[in-house]
Amino acid sequence: MEIIPIVNENDQQIGSIDKAKFDKTKGDIYRTVAVILVDSSNGLVLIQRRSAFKETYANKWQFSSAAGHVQVGETYEQAAARETEEELGIKIKEDKLVFIDKIFITTNKNKRRFMSVFSYDIDLSNVNIKIMPKEVGEAKIISKKELIEMVELESSSFMDDKKLIKQIIYKIFK
């Protein structure tokens, strides 16, 4: 059972709920993380395509390497490290995460969430990726240029808004 915090507009916890029973369309605010694994010395990034088994955005690309919900009692950094290991089999150190942005997202289906975005510098030529098939359909390592081209030419294949993705990528690769 995965218990996630319900928060207010100031990101202060006001309750909790079992994720399996959570109807996100009711407007309650929850917390998520996104981690972008970056090989800054080679200008590379690891992105993932969501699994075909996902309830939402199945088979859509994410700008992140790993992403997910923050659980009750967890910091954003702890959730980022946990999700990276669960989805990709890659252990990262919380204290090496670089905070990029905290974004409040509201969808047209009344889903509301805070998303903390982190980057993590890692030698991508030296990682052993073990994807979790129920979460991740594919992971691939591409250049910043290739990612931006993908977003420009195939924006409908991504789950997130093109403008948001480009904003995050430019913050990471200043």
pLDDT (tens digit per residue) in 145-172: 999 999 999 999 999 889 999 999 999 9
**Full-model pTM:** 0.94
Mean pLDDT over each residue of the chain, to the nearest integer: 95
CATH number, domain of 97, equals 3.90.79.10
Q: pLDDT at residue 11 above 90?
A: yes
Mean pLDDT of 117-126: 97
pLDDT given for residue 107 in this prediction:
87
* CA-closest candidate to residue 133, choices 54, 78, 51: 51
pLDDT given for residue 174 in this prediction:
76
pLDDT given for residue 112 in this prediction:
96
Q: pLDDT at residue 55 above 90?
A: no
Mean pLDDT of 5-31: 96
Q: pLDDT at residue 56 above 90?
A: no
Q: Are strands 44-50 and 3-7 parallel, antiparallel or unpaired?
A: unpaired
Here the tokens at position 163 are 């403008």
- Domain extent for 155: 3-172
130 — pLDDT class (breaks 50, 70, 90) = very high
Mean pLDDT of 65-88: 98
pLDDT given for residue 69 in this prediction:
97
Full DSSP string of 90-128: ----GGG-EEEEEEEEE-TT--EEEEEEEEEE--GGG--
* CA-closest candidate to residue 32, choices 93, 99, 103: 103
How large a percentage of the chain has pLDDT more than 90? Answer: 91
Number of domains in the chain: 1
